[in-house]
Amino acid sequence: MESITQEIIATPDKSQDKCNDHKKLKVAIMSMRNSLFFIASSLLFTSCVKEEFAANKTPQITTINPLVTTSTQLCSQSTLVSPKVDVLLLWDNSSSSLFINSATKNSFNQLISSVSEKFDYHILSAPLISTNTTNSLFEASLVTKDSTSVSGSAANILRTKDQAAQALSFTQAAGSYEPGVDRATSIIEANRSNGIFRNDAYTIIVVMSNGDDSSCEIATGYNSCATADWTSRLQPKIEKLLCLRGNASGINCSGTSPLNSTMMRYINISALTSCSSGLNKINTRYRKVAKAIYEAPYTNGWPTSNDNLNPFTSGGIQYPDNYDICAIDFAHIFDGVNSAIKQTLIKHVYEYWPVTDSTTSLDPDTLRVVRDDGKVLTNRTGQTSPSDGFAYAGALANQYTRSYPTQGEFFTGKMIQLFGTNDNDLIVYPHCLTVTYDSVKSQFGYIYLKNGEPYLPSLEVRINGVLVPQNATNGWEYIGLQFTTALDSNLKIVDLPVAGASSGYFIRLNGSYKFKNTAGAAVSVDVAYSTKTQ
């Protein structure tokens, strides 16, 4: 027993060593734990950083609009031309005249008002008998719809309608000589250059007298003015008026420059019954002139006047454009004349047709042109001297559109040219054209990175939701910082700022991943990435 005890005493205390070893192991374990905690913490920190990058990816989402199809309808135009109407009113100012008084002055306003406002009118009032041999417009007054249509001496006698009625105070002529037909001819011929009497107008002469034309008596000194005499002397004066009118046949008009009047009338307001207080005789000569001018045919096809529905009748003979001064109604003198004067509707003919402005995208191959009656015009672009249809003319500057009646208005922009004849396929009023076209297809090959330089491993590209691989042959390729001028100008750039950019960070699309905008479907382009600054 003792030896065992001694042995135990002599032997080192192993339990103490174990305790120390335990303490050492505990310290080691705790150190290991601290190291593991540090490693875990480090890994956790690293994991947090990666997660933070992923969470901070900035999406760049863009929709490329579908190809635009445009359809526009334009209609041809017409011009409603106000007819030129030149009226000469010759007022009796002979010593025997009692014609001009307060009643006739009031009626004069009705007379002017009865000339339709639809007309481009010149109304000249002048004394029937001239008291100034050097000035045909002495004491005359002129009312016009457009004062700029006359010049010179005519401008000096312009009056308003109200003023014109007050201007009917003519110097009384000595005696009762009335060369009324000659007076009408001479005053018209003397007032063409100043614009009062115009070519191609309706020329209306109105003679108001309580007497009759006495040019025969003036010429013969009253020696012989029987019916045969005054008739033979009056006929050349009628023919002179017809030559002045123009388009007359069967008469010698040499020496007369015609007005080519659309229509000429000689309206006689005189004593057609026995009420005259002048020469106390019934008017016959002015009556004959009015009838002859009314019934004279036109060689240019203008129809003989037929608007006088209630002509004065004497001895079974009708005398159109004659009104009895004994029962005058000024308000209706021009009723027939107004109905005979027609506004002219000029149908415009078009050879060039506007499509759109110069900057709008247009694919000529997609042009479709349809007339309002359903006719589809054939595209003749590129053909030589086509006989119908249309051709794309491109962007033109100040191109006149019409071929008739004038070149008309001009247009700057993209146009088509029409070929053929009127309505086959030159467009004539009232036809319309509907022109349909697509914009030019654009191929997109670059993406502009709006948020700056990317952290490349984070960059992801999708087109219409499909992931695009990173591939220099068939996919996306990061080409870094580039000047836009260095890029392929045939390829459009997704997300390029509206104002443009001289440089930036770009992705290039390669192979089948280049895309075009198409009709009817938008293209979605999604780019997500973290920028290097993070």
User: Does residue 40 register a pLDDT over 60?
Assistant: no
Asked if 352 and 335 sit in the same domain, the reply is no
pLDDT higher than threshold 60 for residue 27 = no
Does residue 233 sit in the same domain as residue 287? yes
Q: What is the DSSP letter of 194?
A: T
Note whether 120 and 222 are same-domain residues: yes
At residue 169 the predicted structure's pLDDT band, cuts being 50, 70 and 90, is: confident
Q: Can you list the pairs that 391-396 forms with residues at least 24 positions away whose Cβ atoms lie under 8 Å? A: 391/416, 391/417, 391/419, 392/364, 392/367, 392/416, 393/352, 393/417, 395/358, 396/352
For residue 38, pLDDT beyond 60: no
Average pLDDT across the chain, whole number: 83
Angstrom distances, CA of residue 373 to CA of 79, 370, 399, 423, 433: 22, 8, 27, 11, 9
Answer yes or no: do 430 and 335 share one domain.
no
469: pLDDT strictly greater than 90: yes
* Domain assignment of residue 32, yes or no: no
Provide mean pLDDT across the span 288-298. 94
pLDDT score at 43: 39
Which pLDDT band, with edges at 50, 70 and 90, does 332 fall under? low
**Do 284 and 330 sit in the same domain of this protein?**
yes
- Domain final position from 438, 459, 489: 438
Q: Is residue 456 part of a domain?
A: yes
Which domain-ending residue is among 373, 406, 438? 438
Domain assignment present for residue 471? The answer is yes
Number of domains in the chain: 3
Residue 98 within a domain: yes
Residue with the bigger pLDDT between 397 and 174: it is: 397
Model pLDDT for residues 196-235, shown as the tens digit of each residue: 999 999 999 999 887 889 889 888 887 778 888 899 999 9
So what's the pLDDT on residue 442? 85
Tell me the CATH number at 141: 3.40.50
- This prediction has a pTM of 0.60
Query: Residue 12's pLDDT band (boundaries 50, 70, 90)?
Result: very low
Quick check: helix, strand or coil at residue 229? helix
Q: Can you give the pLDDT at residue 329?
A: 65
8 Å CB contact between 516 and 443: yes
> What's the rounded Cα separation, in Å, for the pair 531 and 58?
8
> Residues 307, 358: one domain?
no
Give the pLDDT of residue 183.
95
pLDDT at 448: 96
Cβ–Cβ under 8 Å, residues 264 and 294:
no
**Are residues 378 and 445 part of one domain?**
no
d(CA 410, CA 331): 45
Tell whether 38 is covered by a domain: no
Q: Are 503 and 496 in contact (CB under 8 A)?
A: no
pLDDT at 89 over 50: yes
Residues 89 and 179 in one domain: yes
From CA 491, how far away is CA 483, in angstroms rounded?
A: 14
- 354-413 pLDDT, tens per residue? 999 999 989 999 999 999 999 999 999 999 999 999 999 999 999 999 999 888 888 999
Mean pLDDT of 500-529: 90
The confidence score (pLDDT) of residue 312 equals: 87
pLDDT digits (tens, 9 = 90+) for 125-167: 999 998 888 999 999 999 999 999 999 999 999 998 778 777 7
Mean pLDDT calculated for residue range 428-439 = 95
342, 368, 394 - which closes a domain? 342
| 277 has a pLDDT exceeding 60 | no
Domain range holding 313? 83-342
Span of 92-106, 362-376, 387-401, 497-511 with lowest mean pLDDT: 92-106
Assess if residue 47 is contained within a domain.
no
For the stretch 45-63, pLDDT in tens is 344 444 344 447 889 999 9
CA distances to 18, 352, 360, 361, 519 from 69, in Å: 93, 22, 11, 10, 7
Tokens of 134: 């050097």
The answer on 466 and 328 residing in a single domain is no
- 431 and 332, same structural domain? no
Q: Is residue 419 part of a domain?
A: yes
Same domain for 229 and 88 = yes
Q: Are residues 166 and 205 in the same domain?
A: yes
CA dist 62 and 68 (Å) reads: 17
The pLDDT, as a whole number, for residue 68 is: 84
Asked, for residue 379, whether it belongs to a domain, the answer is: yes
Specify which residues 240 forms β-bridges with.
Answer: none
Q: Is pLDDT above 90 for 81?
A: no
Q: Please answer whether residues 287 and 321 qualify as being in contact, where contact means their C-beta atoms are separated by less than 8 angstroms.
A: no
Contacts of 40 (CB under 8 A, 6+ apart): none
Place 107 in a pLDDT band, splitting at 50, 70 and 90.
low
DSSP state of 101: S
